Amino acid sequence: MFTKRRSLSLLLLGFAATATARAESGPEVGPDHPAAVMTPVTTHAGPPPKPLFDPRTYGAKADGATYDTAALQKAIDSCAGTGGSVYLAGGRFLSAALTLKAGMTFYIAKDAVLLGGIEAADYPDHMPAKTAASANRRSLLFADRADHLVLDGDGVIDGQGKFVKMNGREPFRPSLIRIFSSKDVTVRNLTLKNPRMWTQVYSECEHLFIGHLTVLAPPVYQNLDGMDICDSRDVVIRDCNIDSEDDSICLKTHGAPGLQNILVENNTIRCRRANAIKLGTATTGPIFGLRILNNTVLSAQYAGLCIESVDGSSVSDVLVRGLDLKNTGQPIFIRLAPRHINTPARGLPAATLSGVTIERVRALGTHTRTRGASTISGVPGMRVKDVVIRNCYFEMPGGLPTVPKTPGEKETDYPQSNLFGDPPGWAFYVRHADGVAFENVTVRLRKPDARPWLAIEDADVKTTSCRDLSSHPATLPRP
């Protein structure tokens, strides 16, 4: 039987094989080179699987003012395990927290909205008995061990965070979706807007597909990530449009399961106050088989791409290809360090970070609001290894009249991408690293700068066919 799980596994393997087959050097990447060749995207949801369970049958009003929580939960409980759909259509369904079940589709039609309740009491603390600790403990939609769960439709899930203010730290504010320890999960085609915490969280899941979502998380609160993938494996994130206050696509591991076989492809990202695509900050379990292909970042206050191991993770086998970066603070941030939570007294292993290939990146309009350049940095006794930057183009702001002093190690500091302020190199600063290679990399300044484009300290770095065009300042298009 050709199950959905097997299909998704083969899909992931196919992309890994394609990535390996195309790892050879490509043509030169200049300012007009299309950094990503996008594949077609789906534009609408298909019909909901039958049988259909209409919440109105169970008493829902769908008027946007009356709480429909009980009716929605009854429809979910009736649909569980049938392979059918809870079908929201033709109205605005106001609800407190709901628990989704296995073997069902939760379908929101184009003319329907699921509205999050306005009261703090609508979102009780709800965590599975056995899961890694997390700051994210409340949500509108919750599922645990809900295999074969689908969220679909052209409709909207609106947390009303833009209109209903909720005070409190992260654990007290609700996400829109949290799914734990579930297999064969699909979330697609919906618009997720106005969360009050991380928009959507998937923890310890297997065979997860997230596709063609629109995420609108405006900066009315802090910690409004676009999505968080935690301790999961065999994950595809494709064709999403994300506008988030905090990190847009955030990959984390809080425990032993780690992250395995993650594909992030063809997404468009705008990040208001943080990083666009980020591996970190929580990095405890092993991480390997990460593919980031053909993505576009329209803006990010900090980094366009972060690859970090700061809590003990062993990170390896990472491929980034086709990344268009516009108006970011730092194009690339690679960091290996032991934070204060990773102490020998806790028995955590030493972190490692190796085997990273980054190809066909184009960075335009890099800004100076958060300072800094791209950095690849370990710490004494913990060295980044085997990083290749190939066929890339970076336009950097420059403008420093003198070369800054060597920055401090900052081993236990939060690993934000501007960690070192203005580093000694205006495009790249590499420290405590072995086997770093720049191949066919072109760099360019917007303003004259006293620094070299590449600064190296205690690192083995090779450059091949790289060009510094800083004598010809670039005229950039508006981001």
pLDDT tens by residue, 45-78:
899 999 999 999 999 999 999 999 999 999 999 9
Name the β-bridge partners of 295.
323
| Range 259-275 average pLDDT | 98
pLDDT of residue 372: 82
pLDDT of 294: 98
Percent of the chain surpassing pLDDT 90:
80
Give per-residue pLDDT as tens, 125-162: 999 987 666 678 999 999 999 999 999 999 999 999 98
Give mean pLDDT, residues 338-367.
81
Which amino acid belongs to residue 101? K
Residue environment code for 409-445, b if the CB has 16+ CB neighbours within 10 A, otherwise e: bebeeebbbbbbebbbbbbbbbbbbebbbbbbbbbbb
Higher pLDDT pick, 169 / 369: 369
Tokens of 289: 């088989």
Query: pLDDT value at position 416?
Result: 96
- 176 contacts 160 by C-beta, under 8 angstroms: no
Task: Write down the domain spans for the chain.
Answer: 4-50+92-468
Confidence of residue 471 (pLDDT cuts 50, 70, 90): low
CA max distance for the chain: 72
Return the DSSP state at 145: S
Q: Which residues contact 21 (CB under 8 A, 6 or more apart)?
A: none
pLDDT tens-digit profile of 358-368?
Answer: 999 999 999 99
Instruction: Indicate if the pLDDT at residue 31 is higher than 80.
Output: no
* Residue recorded with tokens 């909901």: 48
Closest of 185, 138, 184, 134 to residue 161, by C-alpha = 138
More confident residue, 256 or 167: 256
Q: Which fold has domain 4-50+92-468?
A: Pectate Lyase C-like (2.160.20)
Average pLDDT of the residues of the chain:
89
Lowest mean pLDDT among 126-140, 169-183, 188-202, 392-406: 126-140
Tens digit of each residue's pLDDT (9 = 90 or more) over 405-434: 999 999 999 999 999 999 999 999 999 999
Residue 475: what pLDDT? 39
Question: What span, in angstroms and rounded, lies between the C-alpha atoms of 41 and 57?
Answer: 35
